[in-house]
Amino acid sequence: MSRPTGRRRRTLLRGLAHVPLLLVAAAIAFPVLWAVATSVKPTAVLYDLNPFAATPTLVHYRSALDALPVVRLVLNTAVMSAAVALGQLTVATLAAYGLTQYRFRTRRLAFALLIGTALVPQQALVVPHYLLVSRLGLLDSYAGLVLPQLASSALAVFLLRQQLAVFPAELIESAKLAGASDRLILLRIVVPNLRPVLVAVGIVVFIQTWNEYLWPLLATSGTSRATVQVGLRIFETEQGTAWGPLMAAASLVAAPLVVAYALAQRRVTDAFLRSGLG
């Protein structure tokens, strides 16, 4: 008799426990849903607080697509973000390996300096970066977009170094005794074992780069190499913001990331959980 009541109460409690979670989820999802709702509102009722004020329209999507080469922008941003993520992972893995496996006198100093670079605001580096990329003749190219962002990998180096510092030394020692080279150890032992962290750091860097604004703005002109964040600015003008087309364009450019996340959701959460970065 008491058992079913107990079970029911447990179910009820478990249900209640979800209420705060649902509330938080709704609060987080609200701006996104509002943006999508705004993107289908006719201009005349754009500021109406009732999201169902009038028949939805796709007119803003049409103006957004007319005004912006959305596919091109998404492609450019994806190429840039993927290249930066891969590049930073490569640099960071090598740096983290060097900082943990080699004993040299300036090791601590090197690490401190490296972490120090994370404290330099990006705006302060914009002019030197521009100078370098321009001298290399790489303005308005993918290489120009990516190159300076490889240098800002202090976070990636830090995270990987912390992981490598607690990596079982015996594994590397025994590989060394067996005569394995550093390259072999890195590729066969370190990288496979660090995969969850690498994936997690890669995702963080990818998203950070996707949202980057100032550098792509300066490094590109026109839309051939521009990124989505730069493209979206054409709706924000001195004469006010065209909210309808802006929200439509923002929904369009966010869609690929959302789809990618939906497809790889389990892997993404898994990577964060296993790496301890969550």
Tell me how far, at minimum, the Cβ of 39 lies from another protein, in Å. Answer: 14
Residues that bind another protein (rule: CB under 8 A) add up to a total of: 38
DSSP annotation of 68 reads: S
One-letter identity of residue 121: P
**Residue 167 and residue 190 in contact, taking contact as beta carbons nearer than 8 Å:** yes
CA distance 89 to 91: 6
Among 6, 56, 116, 137, binds another protein (CB under 8 A): 137
Site stretch for another protein (CB under 8 A), options 20-28, 126-134, 183-191, 261-269:
126-134
* DSSP letters for 83-100: HHHHHHHHHHHHHHHHHH
**Of these, 144, 196, 216, 245, which contacts another protein (CB under 8 A)?**
245
Nearer to another protein among residue 116 and residue 137 (C-beta): 137
Helix (H) or strand (E) holding 241: strand 240-241
Q: Does 242 sit near another protein (CB under 8 A)?
A: yes
Closest CA to 245 of 178, 237, 176: 237
Alpha helix stretches (DSSP H) within the chain: 2-39, 59-67, 70-101, 107-117, 122-135, 142-150, 154-165, 169-177, 182-184, 191-193, 195-210, 214-219, 228-232, 243-275
Q: Does 180 bind another protein (CB under 8 A)?
A: no
What residues from 42 to 61 belong to the interface with another protein (CB under 8 A)?
Answer: 43-44, 46-48
Work out how close the CB of 239 gets to another protein at its nearest, in angstroms, rounded to a whole number. 3
Q: Is 186 in the site for another protein (CB under 8 A)?
A: no
The answer to whether residue 143 forms part of the interface with another protein (CB under 8 A) is no
Question: In the set 131, 143, 171, 259, which binds another protein (CB under 8 A)?
Answer: 131
Whose CA is closest to 224, among 72, 83, 79? 72
Nearest distance, CB of residue 251 and another protein, angstroms: 16
Q: Which stretch binds another protein (CB under 8 A): 82-90, 213-221, 258-266, 270-278?
A: 213-221
Distance CA(17)–CA(21), nearest Å, equals 7
Give the Cα separation of 186 and 102 in Å (integer): 13
CB nearer to another protein: pick between 137 and 276: 137
Smallest separation, CB 65 to another protein (Å): 12
Q: Is 173 in the site for another protein (CB under 8 A)?
A: no
Residues that bind another protein (CB under 8 A): 43-44, 46-48, 63, 67, 102, 104-106, 123, 126-127, 130-132, 134-137, 214, 217-218, 221-222, 233-243, 245
